[in-house]
Structure formats: structure tokens, C-alpha cells
Structure 1
């Protein structure tokens, strides 16, 4: 098989971009699958960056804007999706600046209203449970989901879920967070991280898993108190 030249690789990259925007990670993966030499891939990626054909910062901004008008995903779903596309953790930290909690709440409320119309005739408990499941799959934070449901289904029973169901959901989330915390703690310690740097890396990893910021901070604060750190 003849070696793919820089010119040929560039043509392949531009054609790949003609269908839709790509992240840097997606482009590199595509060229590797086409058996393009690593040195040529590096050259092509440099040229694509110079021409602004690929820019992960712009990609993230466009993704958020499109989500605001098309998909209406919550922050957890967005983070998971963007990580799959190769957006790095450091860049993902800027997501909260691009997609405020107010924006997210409006999206959550709109999705809930749309789905609530389709649940006409069902009991209050059925509506609340189905909305809870739907909004959770869409990636909205648990606290936000409960607040939206409470507001929209106000004419029904006052509890968005029974107290036992709510306690069970919160317990499951807390247990899952604890497991992931221990996993990332071991992983980052093996890489030599300690002190504040270790906590920072764990926080980024947990954020990437879609946990609510408040819950992550509560967990890390409890761990710092346990260790007697300032």
C-alpha cells in the first residue's frame, strides 16, 4: 500500500470536515484509522489549526449553542458527550461559563413542560416519576430536576417523589460518588499527585462523571476535614 502523502492526508481531513465539525481528537483518530503516518498527522493538525478548520474552543462554544436550541441536554449529559468526542478536562471546566445554571434550568423546565403535556390523564405520582426519569436521562442535576417537577406539578401531591424514594435516590448517588472518589484517588496517586493537586485532579474527574458540583465539594470538604487539612 502506497504511503499517504501530506497533500492526500490534508484532502482526506478537509473532506472529513465537510460533513460536520470535528474535534482535534476525532480528526487524529480518523487519520490514524486511515493509516496516515504520525508525523504527517502532526503536520496536518498544525495546518488545520492555522486555518482555523479545527478549534476545540470554538467547537465547544458551538456545541453549547446548538444544544441550547436543538438537544436541550443537561450539563451532565453534555459533559459525557463532549468527553467522548475528545474535549479535554481543562477545557470542560469552562462549560459552566458558557452554559449557566439559569440556562440549564430554563432547558430543564422546557423539556419537562413538553413531556408533561404527553402525560395528561396520568396520576400525579406517575407524572413525577416519568419526568424524573426523563430529565435524569437528559443529564440534568438531581436537585434541579426535583425543583422543576415540584413547580410544574404543584396542583398534584406536594412531594415530587415519596420521602423513601427520594432518600433511596440520594443514597445511591452518594454511594456511587464514594466509589468513584476512591477509584480516582488511587488512579491519581499512582501518577504521583499529592495535596491540593491531587484534590484538583479528583474534582475534575468527578465533574467529568456528571456529579453535581455541590455534592463533589461536600465530599472533598469532608475528606479534608477527615485528614485535618486546611
Structure 2
């Protein structure tokens, strides 16, 4: 007859398996343990120990997530905040991590995305290019006012004739 597995060993195995692939928040690990029906008291004990030895660090996890999502994926602070909340990072830690990205950094990233999207749609008409650029940056969480300004500036830089930008006045709604 098989012996009942030790719940603490099960909890440790779950946490170690998940942490091997990538950093995780404490909430993500607790959720995984709950799915495997690890008792809350056992999960808390294991999570406390992992935090104590430095295997779980929500503050560093939040900072790393902000850096990578902003630099590699070009996400806005708003979109990153939503992701942090979904991963169980409390608002105070999330705000501290998001402070690493200021509005200038966000504008630089948005401008780079606008340039890439406009270059990728160079064979299309201006209205379509603008609409697709608005949509792409909207999905990444950028505010409509910023996107509108950057699209106008970049289109003006590409084609300095006012005829090209005439149709954008109210015809294309941000998002």
C-alpha cells in the first residue's frame, strides 16, 4: 500500500518545479499549490521558508517584470501594472517597480513602436496606417492622446506635406 505523500514535500516540489522554469510571485506559487490541494498552512510554511532563503522575492520579481515588459515588449506602465496585479503583486510593490519607468521612457518606447508600425505599413494609405498604429499602441496600453500626437509627428516627419495629414482630423479615432 502506497504511503500518503508528505504535503510539505509536495509543496516544495511544486514551488521548485515552477521556479526552475522562471521567476514567480508568491501568489502564483500559492495558487499552484492550492490547485494541487496543498493545505494553506503547509503552503504558507513552505512559501515563508522559500522567501527567507531568497528563492521568492516579489519585489525583485516586479522590478524584473517591469524592465523586461517595457524594454522587450514595449508595454506601457498601465499595461504592466495590470500584468503585475494579475500575477499577485500588491499595489505598493507594483508602484515602486513601475517608478523605474518614467513618462520620458514611455514616450521613447511609444515613438519607437509608432515608427516600426508606420514603416511596416508604408504601402498603405495614411488613414489605414494611422488606424493600425493607434490600435497596435492601444493594445500595449498607451494613452490615446500620446499615440495621436506621436502618429501625427511621425507621419509629418515621413511626408512633410499637409495633404497627407488632412484626413486624420477626427476621421480616425484613437482606438
Task: Tell me if TM exceeds 0.5.
Answer: yes
Q: CA deviation at 1:67?
A: 1.9
Alignment of 1:83-94 (within 5 A): 83-94=85-96
Deviation at residue 26 of structure 1 after TM alignment: 0.4
State the Cα distance separating 1:129 from its structure 2 match: 1.1
Asked whether the equivalents of residues 31 and 41 of structure 1 are also in contact (C-alpha less than 8 Å), the reply is: yes
The one-character-per-residue Cα deviations of 1:186-209 (angstroms, maximum 9, x if unpaired) are xxxxxxxxxxxxxxxxxxxxxxxx
Deviation at 1:165, TM superposition (A): 4.9
SS at match of 1:153: helix
- 1:214 corresponds in structure 2 to none
Which residue matches 1:111?
Answer: 113
- Give the structure 1 partner of residue 12 of structure 2: 10
Q: Which residues of 2 match residues 198-209 of structure 1 at below 5 A?
A: none
Partner of 2:104: 102
Normalised by the length of structure 2, the TM-score is 0.85
Alignment TM-score, normalising by the size of structure 1? 0.66
Structure-2 separation of matches of 1:55 and 1:159: 52
The 5 Å alignment of 1:56-135 reads: 56-135=58-137
What's the counterpart of residue 49 of structure 1? Answer: 51
Note if contact 1:129-1:161 (Cα within 8 Å) is conserved in structure 2. Answer: no
Which runs of no fewer than 5 residues in structure 1 stay unpaired?
171-230
| Aligned-pair Cα RMSD in Å | 2.2
Give the whole-Å Cα distance in 2 for the aligned partners of 1:96 and 1:145.
Answer: 20
Where does residue 162 of structure 1 map in the other structure? Answer: 169
1:140 counterpart = 2:147: no
Q: Which residue of 2 aligns with 1:217?
A: none
Q: What is the CA distance between 1:80 and its match in structure 2?
A: 1.7
Does the CA contact (< 8 Å) of 1:57 and 1:91 recur in 2? yes
Count how many residue pairs are aligned between Structure 1 and Structure 2. Answer: 168
Structure 2 distance, partners of 1:100, 1:151, is 21
Note if contact 2:74-2:110 (Cα within 8 Å) is conserved in structure 1: yes
